[in-house]
Amino acid sequence: MLSAKSLFQEILDHDESFALFCSIAASGESQGGWENARIAALVPESERPLAPKITRHGADEDKHGRIFRALMRKRGLEPVPVPPETDYTMLLEKHGIGLAHEKLKGQEPLTVQDIVVYLSHSRVTEQRASEQMELLRRHFADHPDIGRAVKMISHDEDNHLAYCHEELLRFARAGHGRAIQRTLRECALAEIRVYRDVSIAVMTHMGRALGWSGAKTALLSTGIRAVYGYERIAGWRRMVSLRMPERRDALGGPASTAAEFA
């Protein structure tokens, strides 16, 4: 019987698929770390108190990249090239979601509107990340090889999501509510399309590595498209709601280290 747990167990037990999974994850996290570091450096003067939180967000993402690379080292595996069609972060940028890398590579300070776009984009993508890590934590929190990593990353992603909610609510109170809702909706609808395409691409590559039958790969692709259909009709709305989180000031301190995975 196909289930999220059984599918990931297959990926975990096979060196080639595990290396691909960790390489894709590490690449995305490292890219997120760079983006946040650049945003922190370019924060407008009126929002400088936000810079340490953005820096913390980026440091967490960098840490997650190191963790995924360390998980490969523990298995004696080397990172593998990330197929372009599986690069979630870069595909989002290609579709105009978030802040353009050309802007982040420059030295011109960002505007308050840019920060609203950054936070809205992050609120959507961190929802996805939090849900994915919660799924892994539910099934693999006690796993001897990946359990500690899963719990640490899941905790961080929940913090990132809480931070986005709190900061966006602050900007909404300051008069940016309509811009936030418009940007959240645009980001969410684009993200679910990119997530669908990336998920199908990842499953296709995993299927080749694991020797899945064409029927199994097709069945999984159908399931991914069905999830997209639900998200396109109604599921995307969970990505655009805002509520004050239980975890207040979730990124107010220094980032925790990942020394145990080095």
Give the domain CATH number at 166: 1.20.1260.10
pLDDT (tens digit, 9 = 90+) per residue, 80-124? 999 999 999 999 999 989 999 999 999 999 999 999 999 999 999
Q: In this predicted structure, what is the pLDDT of residue 1?
A: 58
Q: Is residue 76 part of a domain?
A: yes
Q: Is residue 99 part of a domain?
A: yes
Based on its alpha-carbon atoms, the radius of gyration of the chain, rounded to whole angstroms, reads 18
pLDDT at 247 over 60: yes
Q: Is residue 197 part of a domain?
A: no
Answer for the pair 250, 162: CB distance below 8 angstroms, yes or no.
Answer: yes
Mean pLDDT (the chain) is 94
pLDDT (tens digit, 9 = 90+) per residue, 151-171? 999 999 999 999 999 999 999
Answer for the pair 188, 239: CB distance below 8 angstroms, yes or no.
Answer: yes
Compute the distance between CA of residue 88 and CA of residue 94 in angstroms, rounded to an integer.
Answer: 10
- Longest alpha-carbon distance in the chain: 56
Q: Is residue 228 part of a domain?
A: no
Count of domains observed in the chain: 1
Q: Is residue 107 part of a domain?
A: yes
pLDDT at 21 over 50: yes
Q: Is residue 145 part of a domain?
A: yes
Its pTM surpasses 0.75 = yes
Q: Is residue 226 part of a domain?
A: no
The residue segments making up the domain with residue 146 are 4-183
Q: Is residue 258 part of a domain?
A: no
Average pLDDT rounded to a whole number, residues 178-200: 97
Q: In this predicted structure, what is the pLDDT of residue 197?
A: 98
Q: In this predicted structure, what is the pLDDT of residue 262?
A: 40
Nearest alpha carbon to residue 195 among 232, 162, 167, 170: 232
